[in-house]
Amino acid sequence: MPPLPVAELHVHVEGTLEAELLVALARRNDVALPTYDPVALTERYRHFTSLQSFLDVYYANLAVLRSATDFYDLMAAYLRRAAAAGVRRAEVFFDPQTHLNNGVGFETLVEGFSSAVADAPISADLILCFLRDLGPDAAEQTLRAGLEFREHFIGVGLDSAELGHPPRLFKRVYEIAAAEGLRKVAHAGEEAGPEYVWEALDILGVERIDHGVRSLADPRLVARLRADRVPLTVCPLSNVCLKGVGSLAEHPLKTMLDAGLVVTVNSDDPAYFGGHVDDNFAAVRAALGLSAEDVRQLALNSFEASFAPREDKERWQAEVLSAQIG
C-alpha cells in the first residue's frame, strides 16, 4: 500500500543529518568527530535527558557543514526520504545563526538549501528560524541579513532552548517579518507551559504553534486554539526522546485530536529521534490505538495547516480522502 499523503510542517533540516552523511561530510571537510563509525555515532544520538542535552549534540555536529554542496546534500537527502514517506509538501526549518557562527556565509547556506528545494521531487519551502537563546537582537540582525535572500524563504520560526526565552521578547522581529509578508510560526509549549503559547499567539501573532503539547494544561487555551483552528505541529517521537512525555502510550496526541484541535504529526529531527514522519505515524497508531479515521484526520489537518497554495492543498486533501488506510 502506498504511504498516506501528508504535509510535513515541523522538521529542522539540520536535524535530518544522519550519521552516514555526518561522517562523509566530516571526511570531506576535514572536521574532527569523536568517532567515524556511524553506528557508534547514532548510539550517542539516542540518549537525551532534555531538550538542551539534544541541542548540545545537534549544534556540535553542524560544524561539518561548510560549502553550498554540503547544504545541498543535506536538504536533498531529506527531501528524497520525505517523498518516500508520502510527504507531498514540506515546510522545512533552517537555523542560519548556527552556520553563520561557524563562519559560513548566508549566501552559501541559502544557495545550497534553495537549490535542493528547487530540484525537489515534492513541493517544498523554507522557514527561517531564530535561535531564541541567542536573544532578540541577534534574531533581528539575522532577519535583516536574511532579507537579502527574501525570495528563498516563506516564513519565520523560533526554536532552540525554550525555558527562560519567552516569545514576547521577539515581538519586534516578528513585526518586521510580518511587514515583509512572511508567514509566522513559533515553537511554544514543548518544555514551557501554556503562557508561552498565549504569548506566541497574542504577541507574535503566529499562525501555527510548533509542539504546543503542554497547551492541554489550560482549558481556556484549548478553547482558543480550537475556535481559531490554530494548527499544532506535534512531534511524538521527539517528545518521548526529549522526555517531554513519559512514553508514546502517554502521549496527548489522541486527547488533542478528540478535543477538536488541528493537530498534525511530524518528525522534528528524524536523524536523532528514531524516525521520519511515516515512522511517527506508525508509532502513534500502534501506541495510541488510533483508528483509520483518526489517521485520515491527521493527514487532512496537515494540508489544512500548510502554507501551500489553496488549489494544491485541496488536491492533496482529495487524495487523502480517497486513500486506503491499512
C-beta of 10: minimal distance to Zn ion in Å? 6
C-beta of 277: minimal distance to Zn ion in Å? 13
Q: Which does 15 bind (CB under 5 to 8 A by kind): ligand HPA, Zn ion, none?
A: ligand HPA
The grid cell for 249 is 502510550
C-beta of 117: minimal distance to Zn ion in Å? 19
DSSP string for residues in 220-251: HHHHHHHHTT--EEE-HHHHHHTTSSS-GGG-
Residue among 184 and 187 whose Cβ is closer to ligand HPA: 187
CA distances from 187 to 88, 136, 286, 304 (A): 23, 15, 26, 19
Q: Residue 188 belongs to what H/E stretch?
A: strand 183-188
Locus of grid cell 525555558: 163
Residue among 62 and 68 whose Cβ is closer to ligand HPA: 62
Looking at this protein, which amino acid is placed at residue 192? A
Which long-range CB contacts under 8 A does 58-63 form with residues at least 24 apart? 58/14, 58/15, 58/269, 58/272, 59/98, 61/17, 61/22, 62/14, 62/17, 62/98, 62/99, 62/102, 63/31, 63/102
Contacts of 42 (CB under 8 A, 6+ apart): 19
**Which residue among the candidates 190, 195, 199, 319 is catalytic per the annotation?**
190
C-beta of 268: minimal distance to Zn ion in Å? 5
Do the Cβ atoms of 65 and 102 come closer than 8 Å?
yes
Locus of grid cell 481559531: 228
Active-site residue flag, 311 = no
C-beta of 230: minimal distance to ligand HPA in Å? 18
Looking at this protein, which amino acid is placed at residue 57? V
Residue among 4 and 13 whose Cβ is closer to ligand HPA: 13
Residue among 50 and 255 whose Cβ is closer to ligand HPA: 50
C-beta of 15: minimal distance to ligand HPA in Å? 5
Q: Which does 233 bind (CB under 5 to 8 A by kind): Zn ion, ligand HPA, none?
A: none
Residue among 70 and 269 whose Cβ is closer to ligand HPA: 269
CA distances from 214 to 126, 138, 217, 223, 263 (A): 26, 27, 6, 14, 13
**Residue in the shown chain whose Cβ atom is closest to Zn ion:** 268
Residue among 160 and 215 whose Cβ is closer to ligand HPA: 160
Q: Which does 111 bind (CB under 5 to 8 A by kind): ligand HPA, Zn ion, none?
A: none
Q: Residue 167 belongs to what H/E stretch?
A: none
Binding site for ligand HPA (CB under 6 A): 12, 15, 51, 159-160, 187, 190, 238, 268-269
Binding site for Zn ion (CB under 5 A): 268
- The catalytic residues are 190
